[in-house]
């Protein structure tokens, strides 16, 4: 009886363009209402596919207006001449690829692109390695392990600018506590002027960013580790594999997709990092610690060259989207506990 | 080696690791309590000899922190309400069906999640100024944050809805509930905790948001606490105890909320981020 109703409603169902299991899984076991068009429309919103479509379309429309349109507008502006006078007008002169050509002929562009590459790779490497080490440590069972592990995440919920302020003070040249520790351990002789020495200023932000992101890496890696079946290790132990062999033959291969997702996420998050630059070096001295995502903002809001700011944004957004395709691909079709 | 000894050793090492990792936070709290000269002492003192408790009320008054925090609160609450109202339904539908359209929607949402705010702020600023939205700068920031954070919220809440058994909703429909009735009476109450945790995470993010507020809000009396902290830190500042006191007042409520809700937040975060 129930199956018969199922089949009938599935055939008449307004979402019948959906695969069958989507509908039958949803159990439309109510008799359909008959009535005039208006009533059906109304009942569709309260009780049919209109309900679902309305719930999805409203937020998607919102996102389209406030994220999609700005994306398009960004591309348009990168081909225009935009200054303080033409800011308010909708019709600005188009200049073709002039902004892109100008951008790449500027002397600082090379430095800033190299800085971005260094910032991203050093941050991801640091966050991942320290995070993986901590995750492996907290994976061993002991009382309070999960609570203590969760505590690490405070670095991630703090406002980025506060993290920047704290590290700005820790990294200060004459009175910074980091220099004190390094001197005591005999690593350095004299003080390092982290924020004002062009050789170190980018590393100042990298250190702060590694601190900020390590906990998030650790938590996600812990989730991946807890998904590995324990009997694999028991079997390997019976076969006489030592802990190093177990790590390389079981842990790493089983974690491959998690690691892929985390590295892609790390790339996405590092390219979003802005607050630490604002809080520690402001990109200085002389662009020594400048990266593209700070530079784009600096060009628009400090130098009022909105067209150039938009141009860098377009280049970087294309890059970020490529990274996120990798992320989405590596998280799909995954079954995790 | 007995089990209790091993456990004690592990807890000891874990505490030491946590202490090293959380040292920057400790340093913030300690620096705030130091006097101007103790702050610059070499070697630095790791326990303040004469804690300056009055610094909090001094910084609160002199930096006008009440106003800044109020603006942060308005912006964060506005953004969270907007995101929750729009995002919950979206997450529900994306969790209930499995087909090509859902995959496309999910893919678009994941792509929007990754757009860096500092790159999106240029077109948003120019566009908002053309439509006169910058006359209401806090609303402008709320809209910008909502667009930025909603995808993340949808991904997290979708994971919650996935864990609500579909049979319960089907039973409600058989019993004569409409879709709306079943949604509000059955599904939403069951997903309440997950939604709440996601909303708290979004609130924490919005409460510390900086790029949009810095760029879109010109009037000082409408700026949030992050912008206030930024203008407090000049390039050659030496008021580090005051700045750290400001930071302490700013983050302590967030940290307290996090430590209280830690378990839920961590599990909510991990269930959404990798699915």
Tens digit of each residue's pLDDT (9 = 90 or more) over B126-178: 889 888 888 889 999 999 999 999 998 998 888 888 888 888 888 888 888 88
The angle, 0 to 180 degrees and rounded to 10, between the axes of the packed helices A201-226 and B262-273 is 90
Closest residue to A331, CB basis, from B169, B247, B275: B275
pLDDT bracket for residue B225 (50, 70, 90): very high
The per-residue pLDDT for B271 is 65
Most B CBs within 10 A among A156, A162, A204, A303, hence the mutation to make, goes to A162
Sign of CA dihedral A85, A91, A95, A99: positive
Q: If we measure between CA atoms, which residue out of A61, A92, A51 comes closest to residue A310?
A: A92
pLDDT bracket for residue B103 (50, 70, 90): confident
The per-residue pLDDT for B78 is 96
The per-residue pLDDT for B34 is 87
The per-residue pLDDT for A91 is 77
Region B53-58: what's the mean pLDDT? 88
Q: What is the nearest CA distance from B255 to chain A, expressed in angstroms?
A: 7
Looking at the DSSP bridge assignments, the partners of residue A94 are A80
Most A CBs within 10 A among B11, B98, B108, B119, hence the mutation to make, goes to B119
**Most confident of the ranges A149-163, A307-321, B75-89, B228-242:** B75-89
Q: If we measure between CA atoms, which residue out of A121, A147, A260, A272 comes closest to residue B274?
A: A260
Q: Please answer whether residues A324 and A268 qualify as being in contact, where contact means their C-beta atoms are separated by less than 8 angstroms.
A: yes
**What does the block give as tokens for B257?**
């909320």
Among the residues of B22-64, which ranges form H helices?
23-32, 36-39, 55-62
The per-residue pLDDT for A41 is 67
C-alpha to C-alpha distances, B40 to A108, A174, A192, B172, B237, nearest whole angstrom: 36, 9, 16, 67, 13
Closest residue to A275, CB basis, from B93, B127, B210: B210
The per-residue pLDDT for A170 is 92
> Does the pLDDT of residue B16 top 70, yes or no?
yes
**A169 vs B96: CB contact, 8 Å cut-off?**
no
* B25–A contact, CB cutoff 8 A: yes
The per-residue pLDDT for B1 is 58
H/E run at residue B108? helix B100-113
For chain A, list residues with pLDDT below 50: 1-34, 334-337
**A165 vs B119: CB contact, 8 Å cut-off?**
no
The per-residue pLDDT for A291 is 93
The per-residue pLDDT for B272 is 57
């Amino acid at each position: 009886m129930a199956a018969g109703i199922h089949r009938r409603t599935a055939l008449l169902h307004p979402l019948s363009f959906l695969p069958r299991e989507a509908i039958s899984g949803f159990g439309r076991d109510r008799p359909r209402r008959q009535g005039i068009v208006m009533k059906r429309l109304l009942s569709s919103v309260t009780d049919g596919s209109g309900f679902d479509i309305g719930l999805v379309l409203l937020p998607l429309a919102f996102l389209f207006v406030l994220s999609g349109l700005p994306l398009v507008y960004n591309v348009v502006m990168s081909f225009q001449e935009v200054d303080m006078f033409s800011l308010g007008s909708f019709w600005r002169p188009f200049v073709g690829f002039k902004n892109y050509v100008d951008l790449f002929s500027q002397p600082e562009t090379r430095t800033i692109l190299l800085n971005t590459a260094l910032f991203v790779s050093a941050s991801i490497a640091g966050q991942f390695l320290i995070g993986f080490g901590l995750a492996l440590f907290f994976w061993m069972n002991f009382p309070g392990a999960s609570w203590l592990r969760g505590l690490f995440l405070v670095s991630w919920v703090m406002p980025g600018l506060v993290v920047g302020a704290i590290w700005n003070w820790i990294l200060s040249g004459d009175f910074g506590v980091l220099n004190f520790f390094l001197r005591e351990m005999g690593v350095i002789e004299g003080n390092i002027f982290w924020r004002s020495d062009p050789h170190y200023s980018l590393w100042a932000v990298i250190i702060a960013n590694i601190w900020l992101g390590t906990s998030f890496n650790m938590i996600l890696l812990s989730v991946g580790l807890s998904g590995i079946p324990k009997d694999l290790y028991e079997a390997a132990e019976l076969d006489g594999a030592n802990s190093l062999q177990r790590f390389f033959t079981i842990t790493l291969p089983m974690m491959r997709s998690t690691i892929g997702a985390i590295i892609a996420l790390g790339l996405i998050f590092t390219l979003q990092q802005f607050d630490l630059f604002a809080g520690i070096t402001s990109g200085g001295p002389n662009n020594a610690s400048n990266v593209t995502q700070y530079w784009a903002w600096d060009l628009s809001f400090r130098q009022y060259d909105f067209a150039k700011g938009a141009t860098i944004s377009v280049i970087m957004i294309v890059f970020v989207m490529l990274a996120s395709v990798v992320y989405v691909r590596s998280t799909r079709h995954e079954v995790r506990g | 080696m007995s089990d209790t000894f091993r456990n004690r050793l592990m807890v000891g090492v874990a505490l030491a690791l946590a202490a090293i990792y959380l040292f920057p936070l400790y340093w913030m709290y300690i620096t705030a309590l130091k006097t101007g000269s103790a702050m610059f002492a070499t070697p630095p003192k790791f326990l303040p000899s004469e804690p300056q408790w009055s610094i909090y009320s001094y910084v609160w008054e002199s930096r006008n922190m009440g106003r800044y925090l109020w603006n942060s609160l308005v912006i964060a609450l506005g953004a969270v309400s907007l995101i929750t109202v729009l995002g919950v339904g979206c997450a529900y539908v994306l969790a209930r069906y499995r087909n090509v359209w859902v995959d496309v929607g999910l893919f678009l949402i994941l792509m929007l999640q990754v757009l860096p705010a500092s790159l999106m702020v240029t077109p948003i600023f120019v566009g908002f100024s053309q439509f006169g939205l910058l006359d209401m700068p806090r609303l402008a920031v709320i809209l910008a944050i909502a667009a930025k954070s909603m995808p993340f919220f949808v991904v997290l809440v979708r994971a919650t809805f996935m864990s609500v058994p579909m049979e319960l909703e089907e039973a409600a429909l058989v019993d004569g509930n409409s879709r709306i009735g079943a949604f509000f009476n059955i599904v939403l109450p069951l997903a309440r905790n997950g939604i709440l945790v996601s909303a708290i995470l979004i609130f924490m993010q919005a409460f510390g948001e900086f790029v949009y507020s810095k760029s879109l809000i010109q009037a000082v009396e409408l700026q949030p606490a992050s912008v206030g902290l930024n203008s407090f830190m000049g390039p050659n500042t030496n008021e580090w105890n005051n700045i750290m006191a400001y930071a302490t007042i700013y983050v302590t409520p967030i940290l307290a909320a996090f430590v209280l809700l830690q378990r839920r937040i961590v599990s909510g975060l991990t269930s959404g981020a990798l699915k």
